[in-house]
Amino acid sequence: MSDLRIDYSLGEYRNSIISALDKMRRDNIIARIWAKDYTVWKPAPNEIINRLGWLDAPAEALEQINYIRATLEPFTNGSIKDVVLLGMGGSSLAAEVFNKIFGSEAGHPQLHIMDTTDPVLISQLTQRLDLEKTLFLVSSKSGTTLEITSLFHYFHSLTLEKMGSSASRHFIIITDKGSSLEELSNKLSLQHVFLSDSNIGGRYSALSMPGIVPAAIIGVDVEILLLTAIAAEQREKAENFSGELAATGSVLGATLGTLAQRGRNKITFIMSPQWAPLGNWLEQLIAESTGKEGKGILPVLDEPLADPRVYGQDRLFVFFQNGAVDNSQKIAGLAAAGHPVITIRPHDRYDLGDQMFLWEMATAVAGHILGINPFDQPDVEATKAHVRRTIALYRDKKELPYELPSLTTPECVIYGGPQAPSPAGALKIFLSEAAKDDYVCLQVYLSPTPEVDEALRKLREKIFAKHGLAVTIGYGPRYLHSTGQLHKGDSGNGLFIQLTADDLQDVEIPDRFGADDSTLTFGTLKAAQAQGDWQALIDARRRVIRFHWRTNSAAGLKNLVELL
């Protein structure tokens, strides 16, 4: 049983949160959530009533553990060296958390997350794999996610070429019943299909098949993980607010929602090293659930903690603590400066199950407070539609749509933004237009390297130092399945800086299973995704500028930071 502790330092906001909790008690909100009453969020059931399966997921997954283990046993006896998960967003982020926090137990394969269309990363992983000792988990609840179908075509073609008909034994599907992937798996005679609960949305699926199957295959004791989540379930069911700020998702969610209503809508996570991997999962859960209808809570990850006095009145700080890290003085300093602070002290790493359910409930309750549906993603389709049109045009014309640049230099081409004589000048003017409660998002379509990551870190620090703005960083296309909804659905206080470059190498995507013909590459797909999101942001009247590096992108970024 978890001995989770949550401490709240809320200052002037405490009474507002107490009032919100008291109203929830009078309106019987927690009991209605457990009764799956869609009117907790909206008067109509659309994309709510069929998205509440996460409430029962831990217990249902626990009932299927023997089946999951028996199915995976042939791959956990040393015969398989590597498992590659092909997934995006909710189909990959929980698995990534489990992999980074627990790692692979002895005798179990190493897990690799492939959630990108970057041809360099795809090539690097391909070169490291022994396909005869590799299992692929193809995870997509809808079965139609463009990135996953492309990666599936690519890796299936490689495995088929290497092993012939036995290639089918190296693929397992995780998808919803009746999806196109289930049908395709039967056609290709693949090893196995795990069927997900179609009443669970992707970002709420961590404690169901998309999260538990990858965790089990690397040797995580998923029974303990699920039991801690079930304990959290029972704690939530018993919640009957008595005036104390309890360690429950309902209290946490009421706090998040009420603070967002008061302008404290940037939740800044300060994570101890043990819990840092949870950040990306929390980012998707909160951003994609709350960023809509002109509202939103922006998660801010990996930002160095600054002097409390430099922050505006738009921050909420959440500390994840363990015995190895003591942030008590920093917490006291932030609270003394008037910033609300929440401190979470999990007991051990298996409290991860507790944390996941806690935050799912908190996000659902925050959605109630904000008056939004936390289970849909109405603005995600906008980018997808633009990408589909761009790819169709490319296949017809053999080139991407022409974009008119606002500035061209030997090193960089700039699209959008203000007119300026230099890239640094354009960025300075662009940032100078920010209001005090705005934020900056770096949308990165570059191949990740230590040099690029370091340059992004310094750019973030420079922007914060000069403008005091929260800065988030997201690699594309994975951020499209995470924070992309919030970017188009919130109140419009984001400034978006896209960073693109010509790919140094490219990889063809087979058009069909079992065939070599190809009319699209991963590099082109990635470029189309950047263009598609650019256009979706423009359509949503967001402020966006794009820097396309013609030469070394890391050097270009470093130079840009110095010129700022």
- Residue 77's nearest CA partner among 122, 130, 133 is 133
**342, 261: one domain:** yes
Residue 53 lies inside a defined structural domain of this protein: no
138 phi, psi to nearest 5 deg: -100, 105
Q: Is the pLDDT of residue 511 over 50?
A: yes
- What crossing angle do the helices spanning 209-217 and 65-72 adopt, rounded to 10°? 50
Assess contact for 375 and 48: CB atoms under 8 A: yes
Residue 226 lies inside a defined structural domain of this protein: no
**88, 154: one domain:** yes
Residue for token digits 């009474």? 15
The pLDDT of residue 240 is 65
Per-residue tokens: 32: 């209605």
Within 8 A by CB and 6+ apart from 29, the residues are: 40, 250, 365, 368
Distance CA 314, CA 260 (A): 8
End-to-end C-alpha distance for the chain, whole angstroms: 51
Residue 228 lies inside a defined structural domain of this protein: no
Choose the final residue of a domain: 370, 399, 414.
370
Distance CA 274, CA 325 (A): 10
Residue 414 lies inside a defined structural domain of this protein: yes
**112, 163: one domain:** yes
What band does 211 get if pLDDT is binned at 50, 70 and 90? very high
The pLDDT of residue 1 is 42
- Residue 151's nearest CA partner among 195, 92, 108, 192 is 92
The pLDDT of residue 3 is 67
**155, 261: one domain:** no
Nearest-5° Cα angle at 319, 316 to 325: 155
Q: Which helix (H) or strand (E) holds 474?
A: strand 470-475
pLDDT tens, position by position, 482-504? 999 999 999 999 999 999 998 88
Nearest-5° Cα angle at 314, 310 to 318: 85
Residue 314 lies inside a defined structural domain of this protein: yes
Residue 190 lies inside a defined structural domain of this protein: yes
- Calculate what percentage of the chain has a pLDDT beyond 90: 91
Distance CA 494, CA 44 (A): 30
Assess contact for 102 and 506: CB atoms under 8 A: no
DSSP state of 104: P
**200, 120: one domain:** yes
Within 8 A by CB and 6+ apart from 254, the residues are: 17, 20, 21, 24, 365, 366, 369
pTM of the prediction?
Answer: 0.96
**Cα dihedral 188/194/196/201 (nearest 10):** -70
Choose the final residue of a domain: 314, 341, 370.
370
Average pLDDT of the residues of the chain? 95
**558, 422: one domain:** yes
**393, 537: one domain:** yes
Higher-pLDDT residue of 564, 248: 248
Choose the final residue of a domain: 218, 250, 274.
218
**Cα dihedral 430/431/436/442 (nearest 10):** 110
Nearest-5° Cα angle at 73, 216 to 103: 35
Q: Which helix (H) or strand (E) holds 135?
A: strand 134-139
**430, 534: one domain:** yes
The pLDDT of residue 499 is 98
Range of the domain at 250: 5-40+238-370
pLDDT tens, position by position, 227-239? 999 999 999 988 6
Distance CA 493, CA 510 (A): 40
**304, 419: one domain:** no
Within 8 A by CB and 6+ apart from 216, the residues are: 65, 68, 69, 72, 222
Distance CA 351, CA 360 (A): 14
What band does 322 get if pLDDT is binned at 50, 70 and 90? confident
Distance CA 148, CA 215 (A): 20
Distance CA 379, CA 293 (A): 10
pLDDT tens, position by position, 269-304? 999 999 999 999 999 999 999 999 999 999 999 999
Residue for token digits 């270009």? 556
CATH code: domain of residue 22 = 3.40.50.10490
Distance CA 335, CA 337 (A): 5
Peptide bond into 378 cis (omega under 30): no
Q: Poorest-confidence range of 166-180, 305-319, 459-473, 550-564? A: 550-564
The pLDDT of residue 504 is 87
Burial of 436 per CB tally in 10 Å (0-12, 13-18, 19+): exposed
Residue 51 lies inside a defined structural domain of this protein: no
**522, 384: one domain:** yes
Q: Where are the alpha helices (DSSP H) in 344-449?
A: 352-370, 380-397, 423-432
**249, 284: one domain:** yes
Assess contact for 5 and 349: CB atoms under 8 A: no
Q: Which helix (H) or strand (E) holds 457?
A: helix 450-467
Distance CA 156, CA 412 (A): 37
**482, 536: one domain:** yes
Residue 72 lies inside a defined structural domain of this protein: no
Assess contact for 225 and 352: CB atoms under 8 A: yes
Distance CA 138, CA 171 (A): 7
pLDDT tens, position by position, 524-534? 999 999 999 99
- Residue 541's nearest CA partner among 485, 493, 499, 474 is 493
**Domain count across the chain:** 3
Assess contact for 131 and 170: CB atoms under 8 A: yes
